[in-house]
Structure 1
Amino acid sequence: MTRDIEVPELGFIALLRYAWRQLTSMRTALILLMLLGVAAIPGSLIPQRITNTIAVRDLYQTNPELAKWYDRFSLFDVYGSPWFSAIYILLFISLIGCVLPRSFEHYRAMRAQPPATPKNLSRLEHYQEITSDGETLEAAEKWFKKNRFRIRIEENSISAEKGFLRETGNLLFHLSLILILVGVSFGSLFGMRGEAIVNVGERFISVPTSYDTLAFGKLAGDTSLEPFEIKVDKFVAQYNPKTNAPEDYTAWLTVTYQGKTEKKTIKVNKPLTFANTRVYLQANGYSPVVTVRDSLGFVAFQGPVPFLPQDGNLRSIGAIKVPDADPQIGFVGSFVPTNARTTDQGAVSIFPELLDPKLLFSIWKGDLGLDTGIPQSVYKIDTTDLQQIGLGSVKPGETFNYAEGSITLETVVPWINLQVVKDPGKSYALIGGIVAVLGLLSSLYGRRRRIWIRITSQGAEVAGLAKNSAPGLEDEIEKFVNALRRD
């Protein structure tokens, strides 16, 4: 005959307590950490609106059905999506709930005395019996203090303990993960990141309209921009003449900040600092300075046009858009700083410096689509609805004439790409990373062990115990016993 066993139902408070214990377990924290890494993968494979709006728009044009599904699951804004934020917050809570109670418990254990000497030392590891006299305990106490043991002195025995650094390092490692998460969250909430291409001789003023790309944190806005002004006076790039590899980039600037104007230099690993904002020299290229005239000889466009480098020798592509011409004219161009020709690729650059610059282009006329309100790349022209009217090339000082006008390459100036970053949580993340490494090393090389000595009528008993069977206890007891015998 079987009896049914009734299992009592969990009440609401008990259910909450059970859920909290599950969330704050180390197993859950590890699972959430793995999920966070997996959740970040789509942000690297799929274009994000905050960094590449044009790529997102192109995906809508080429594969609209797939783009709708991406948008439905917030894959165009992975790091700001609700599901990514949920994993992030749960991991944060899990780590705090797991590590903080352990930290308090470890602190109390460090403050407490070592455990009393067991009755049967012979059952412990590396048990030894040695002869003793009236000064054996004094010699043992002196040796323990010299080797930084915490001791507990009883009537005829001493209990010594050492190696809390292992658990301390383990806790520091997990606490540092919390600090890193705090730093990352501060950066995503209050930080900003922007980029701007500035030609030599031009000024950059830190206002929203001056940036080519600009992204703010969730709780930041235009008012968080640090007000400064930079004028690029000169830029020099040095290249290895044998390998064409860059050796040094230096830009000379005139900087105005808080009413004070100074001359500064900036290098790749030497940024400018304005309070919590840093300005990095990220990339460089060339801007052909062109003058485009219409069929009547009037200037329809004049100025530098940045071209985007495509290889290490700075072969660059770009577009010159002339919406004021009638009809509108567009030039799909390629610029080479040191011109050469190959049978398979045509015009190429064989060195990154301006040794023999040349601008090559195809000419198109028609509506450039600049008034549609749809953002488009400054380096490309959609020629689907345009009519090609010519091909040409010019060197500095030369003019190419076509039926609707002419284009003159006046000169070529370098440009630099400035990356402006404000990350208030970076220092927290850096400290967290350093502490994590130190804590990991401490937990790997620290050894928790205890040694006891008791005086008996026959002599003295010595034994020890190592947590998790950590190696090295036998050698340490041997040194301890030898020291007592010498004394």
Structure 2
Amino acid sequence: MSSQVEVPELGAGGLARFAWRQLTSMRTALILLMMLGVAAIPGSLVPQRSQNPMAVRQYFIDDPQLARWIDRFSGFEVYSSPWFSAIYILLFISLIGCVLPRSVEHFKAMRAVPPATPKNLSRMEFFTSFVGDKSNFDKGAAWLKRKRFRIRYEDGAVSAEKGYLRETGNLLFHLSLILILVGVSVGSLFGMRGEAIVNKGERFISVPTSYDTLSFGKLVNEDVIDPFIIEVEDFQADYDPVTAAPRDYTANVRVTNPGEKVSEEKALKVNSPLTFGNTRVYLQANGYSPIVTVRDTAGFVVFQGPVPFLPQDGFLKSIGSIKVPDARPQLGFVASFLPTYARSAVDGGISLFPEALDPRLLFSIWEGDLGLDSGIPQSVYRIDTSEMSRIALDSLKPGETFNFSAGSITFETFVPWINLQIVNDPGKEYALYGAIAAILGLLASLFGRRRRIWIRITPSGVVEVAGLAKNGAPGLEEEIASLTAHMRDEK
């Protein structure tokens, strides 16, 4: 005869409690933290629309089918995608639900009295006994109190406990992770980040149209931009003559703050940003801008001015493009700037040093349709030559001119440029404090030692001493030996 056992239904409330316990467990928090790290990997492998829209467009040109699948899963917008946000929010909730209750219980445990002295101390670690009296017992209790043990007095016994710093550090570390997540969230919701390349002798005015790239947080717009003016008066780069490694970058700038008519001269360095309200301006990179003049067949100037080129290596070999839409037909120069020119049998033109000791401008000339009227965004550093034909190829030193069938180009000179990174991140303080607290908590967790020590005097005059170290933490044996020696007046 078989008997059936009825299992009660879990119900909506029970299911919710079960789901909450699973979500707020430390195991789930660690899994979500690992998932967040894995989910961030595509953002570093695939170009993001907010940072490099041109590279995203190139993805669609090179492999449209793959690009559509990547876009379908928000691969070009990883950090604002629904799945990344879901992991982030779940991790945030899991850490709060896991750490806060543990913190409350830990606070109560720290205020509670130590546990009672066990009946049989001989079973504890490093048990020691000797013949003594009440004075030995009192000396031991005073020693424990002086060493900041929490004391519990009993009839003929003392229970002492110390080392809650270990668990405190562990909880502080996890609470700090919550603070770091808050800082990242505040920055992504209310922050602003932009970049701008400014040539020597030019001014940067902090308005949206002056930025080369500009992105805002989810809950703010261009109103968060702090107004200011930076004029680059000079830029000096110091390089090691042997290794060519940079030793120092200094940009001398003239700064005008909001609402002020008088400007102020300041030095902008890599680790010394400028501050305007809540915004900081960093010196991020540098390069060269060749100054060229392009004339048509009649001798009229159709283009003149500096053109920033992008460095490709540590010797500042740079590439760029000079687009002349006013020429008839339109002209494009696909060019390279070499600060210290040399020839290589393998790579052709190369630069031997980042300082402009022997500058040379290498270029190929193309004529045809630049595609500027197609409505498709283009990079200012590259030219789409699919609808153009090459008509010439040459190189120039500063001051030289090259004549070709559609006109001429003169390499006048060059000026350095600097890349300004403008950041308004209201959450950086939270993230910084969280990181500092996390390091302190981790150190406390690693070096804290929780242990208990008991002293008992029996009616027969035998003093017993024993201890217990949580997780086998070292140092308890030496501590009990020092306590015993003090109780027995041994030196």
Which of the five TM-score ranges fits, normalised by the shorter chain?
Answer: over 0.9
Q: Report the residue type matching 1:46 in the other structure.
A: V
Q: Out of 141-150 and 346-355, give the one that drifted further.
A: 346-355
Identify the residue that residue 437 of structure 1 maps to in structure 2.
Answer: 439
Identify the residue that residue 204 of structure 2 maps to in structure 1.
Answer: 204
Q: Does 1:479 align with 2:482?
A: yes
Q: Out of 123-132 and 35-44, give the one that drifted further.
A: 123-132
Cα drift, residue 78 of structure 1: 0.5
Whole-angstrom distance in 2 between the partners of 1:169 and 1:367 = 66
Identify the residue that residue 392 of structure 2 maps to in structure 1.
Answer: 390
Identify the residue that residue 239 of structure 1 maps to in structure 2.
Answer: 239
Q: Report the residue type matching 2:83 in the other structure.
A: W
User: 1:188-210: CA deviations, max 9, x gaps?
Assistant: 11112111110000000111111
Identify the residue that residue 327 of structure 1 maps to in structure 2.
Answer: 329
Q: Secondary structure at the match of 2:418?
A: strand
Cα drift, residue 165 of structure 1: 0.6
Cα drift, residue 34 of structure 1: 0.8
Whole-angstrom distance in 2 between the partners of 1:358 and 1:120 = 89
8 Å contact 2:137–2:487 — kept in the other structure?
no
User: 1:282-328: CA deviations, max 9, x gaps?
Assistant: 11111111111112221111110011112222221111001111111
8 Å contact 2:134–2:457 — kept in the other structure?
no
Whole-angstrom distance in 2 between the partners of 1:481 and 1:345 = 78
Cα drift, residue 246 of structure 1: 1.7
8 Å contact 2:323–2:332 — kept in the other structure?
yes
User: 1:310-357: CA deviations, max 9, x gaps?
Assistant: 222222111100111111111111111222223333322222222222
Q: Out of 9-18 and 392-401, give the one that drifted further.
A: 392-401
User: 1:388-407: CA deviations, max 9, x gaps?
Assistant: 22222222222211222111
Identify the residue that residue 150 of structure 1 maps to in structure 2.
Answer: 150
Whole-angstrom distance in 2 between the partners of 1:344 and 1:439 = 54
Q: Out of 95-104 and 470-479, give the one that drifted further.
A: 470-479
Cα drift, residue 472 of structure 1: 2.2
Q: How does 1:364-443 map to 2 (within 5 A)?
A: 364-443=366-445
User: 1:242-275: CA deviations, max 9, x gaps?
Assistant: 2222221111000111215210001112211222
Whole-angstrom distance in 2 between the partners of 1:128 and 1:414 = 77
Whole-angstrom distance in 2 between the partners of 1:339 and 1:89 = 53
8 Å contact 2:307–2:322 — kept in the other structure?
yes
User: 1:109-143: CA deviations, max 9, x gaps?
Assistant: 11111122233323322223222223233212210
Q: How does 1:19-418 map to 2 (within 5 A)?
A: 19-258=19-258, 259=260, 260-418=262-420
Q: Out of 168-177 and 449-458, give the one that drifted further.
A: 449-458
Label 1:471 to 1:243 Cα distance change in 2 as closer, same or farther (>3 A). Answer: closer
Q: Out of 268-277 and 90-99, give the one that drifted further.
A: 268-277
Whole-angstrom distance in 2 between the partners of 1:348 and 1:465 = 70
Stretches of structure 2 that go unaligned for 5 or more consecutive residues are none
Cα drift, residue 88 of structure 1: 0.5
Aligned length: 487
Q: Secondary structure at the match of 1:135?
A: helix
Whole-angstrom distance in 2 between the partners of 1:469 and 1:484 = 25
Give structure 1 regions of 4+ aligned residues with deviation exceeding 3 angstroms. Answer: none
Whole-angstrom distance in 2 between the partners of 1:352 and 1:34 = 41
Whole-angstrom distance in 1 between the partners of 2:411 and 2:124 = 89
Whole-angstrom distance in 2 between the partners of 1:253 and 1:70 = 43
After superposition, the CA RMSD in angstroms is 1.4
Q: Secondary structure at the match of 1:16?
A: helix
Whole-angstrom distance in 2 between the partners of 1:128 and 1:392 = 92
Cα drift, residue 485 of structure 1: 0.8
Whole-angstrom distance in 1 between the partners of 2:16 and 2:93 = 15
Whole-angstrom distance in 2 between the partners of 1:157 and 1:345 = 84
Identify the residue that residue 447 of structure 1 maps to in structure 2.
Answer: 449
Stretches of structure 1 that go unaligned for 5 or more consecutive residues are none
Q: Report the residue type matching 1:53 in the other structure.
A: P
Whole-angstrom distance in 1 between the partners of 2:398 and 2:467 = 85
Q: Secondary structure at the match of 1:362?
A: strand
Q: Secondary structure at the match of 1:388?
A: strand
Label 1:118 to 1:342 Cα distance change in 2 as closer, same or farther (>3 A). Answer: closer
Identify the residue that residue 463 of structure 1 maps to in structure 2.
Answer: 466
TM-score in terms of structure 1 length: 0.97
Q: Secondary structure at the match of 2:134?
A: coil
Whole-angstrom distance in 2 between the partners of 1:254 and 1:423 = 24
Cα drift, residue 31 of structure 1: 0.7
Q: Secondary structure at the match of 2:178?
A: helix
User: 1:401-453: CA deviations, max 9, x gaps?
Assistant: 12221111121111111111122111211211121121112111211111111
8 Å contact 2:398–2:411 — kept in the other structure?
yes
Q: Report the residue type matching 1:337 in the other structure.
A: P
Whole-angstrom distance in 1 between the partners of 2:372 and 2:287 = 25
Q: Out of 475-484 and 55-64, give the one that drifted further.
A: 475-484
Q: Report the residue type matching 1:347 in the other structure.
A: G
TM-score in terms of structure 2 length: 0.96
Cα drift, residue 279 of structure 1: 1.2
Q: Report the residue type matching 1:74 in the other structure.
A: S
Whole-angstrom distance in 2 between the partners of 1:120 and 1:481 = 18
Percent identity reads: 69
8 Å contact 2:234–2:252 — kept in the other structure?
yes
Label 1:343 to 1:127 Cα distance change in 2 as closer, same or farther (>3 A). Answer: closer
Q: Secondary structure at the match of 2:263?
A: strand
